Amino acid sequence: MLKRVKDKFDLHPERLIADTAYGSGPMLDWLVKRKIAPHIPVIDKAGRTDGTWSRADFEWDAANNQYICPEGEALKQFRRNYSDPNRGPTGKGVAKYQALKHTCQACPSKMKCCPKADARKITREEHEDARDVARAIRKTRQYKVSSKLRKKVEMLFAHLKRILGLGRLRLRGPCGTNDEFLLAATAQNIRKLAKIFPAPQQTRKA
């Protein structure tokens, strides 16, 4: 779609608004690399349901490639240097970060952090930087505006499906589909126009 819009209208969007279905790491990374701000909720399965701290409670320290826990301790991926770079911090894929066992054992917040493990571990996905960009955008005022715009568009699709009966198409093939959607969109626009320019009220003659 982005390529079509670029080819046809020479437009390159600054931001893209979509729902959670588009919030996967690879998709967000693809957008961020093209300098398109993802106004998209992140798919995040790192949340915990048992009341213990989740990954979001740990601060990411990019400069030192480590997480900092709420008690101020570092969770590191490697604590020694590797001669093979693929095993080191530049390796691709899911990275695992771990606190020191003796630090967690003596920590007053252990029950809130890792009650069943010797030390706390956190994983970081390959596209976590892009996911962090999307998370930061989500806290902005502009994101709230984007959400309202998205809901406006989604309402139109819901109206097409529920009121105009486009849950199922009657015509077959791409041309038939195009015709049906064009007619339905025309009906929606006429409906909108009728709201903007209401018909003059008839007055009864005495």
Q: Which stretch binds ligand SF4 (CB under 6 A): 15-23, 63-71, 148-156, 161-169?
A: 63-71
**CB nearer ligand SF4, residue 52 or residue 147:** 52
Asked if 124 touches ligand SF4 (CB under 6 A), the answer is no
- For residue 68, which phi and psi values (nearest 5 degrees)? -115, 125
Asked if 69 touches ligand SF4 (CB under 6 A), the answer is yes
**CB nearer ligand SF4, residue 40 or residue 107:** 107
Number of residues binding to ligand SF4, judged by CB under 6 A? 13
**CB nearer ligand SF4, residue 30 or residue 60:** 60
Dist CA 191 CA 69 (whole Å): 55
Angle at 92 between CA 16 and CA 60, to 5 degrees: 65
Asked if 104 touches ligand SF4 (CB under 6 A), the answer is yes
Helix (H, G, I), strand (E, B) or coil at 168: coil
Please list, in sequence order, all residues whose beta carbon lies within 8 angstroms of the beta carbon of residue 166, skipping any fewer than 6 positions away: 160, 180, 181, 184
Asked if 73 touches ligand SF4 (CB under 6 A), the answer is yes
Asked if 122 touches ligand SF4 (CB under 6 A), the answer is no
Asked if 70 touches ligand SF4 (CB under 6 A), the answer is yes
Q: How far is the CB of 113 from ligand SF4 (least distance, A)?
A: 3
CA dihedral sign of residues 116, 120, 121, 124: positive
Closest CA to 17 of 140, 124, 178, 126: 140
Dist CA 201 CA 206 (whole Å): 16
Q: Which of 40, 99, 160, 184 binds ligand SF4 (CB under 6 A)?
A: 99
Q: Compute the CA torsion angle 15, 17, 21, 23 (nearest 10 deg).
A: 40
Q: Which stretch binds ligand SF4 (CB under 6 A): 34-42, 110-118, 147-155, 197-205?
A: 110-118
**CB nearer ligand SF4, residue 27 or residue 104:** 104
Asked if 44 touches ligand SF4 (CB under 6 A), the answer is no
Residue whose entry in the numeric block shows the structure tokens 């991926």: 77
Helix (H, G, I), strand (E, B) or coil at 167: coil
User: What residues line the site for ligand SF4 (CB under 6 A)?
Assistant: 69-71, 73, 99, 103-104, 107, 109-110, 113-114, 120
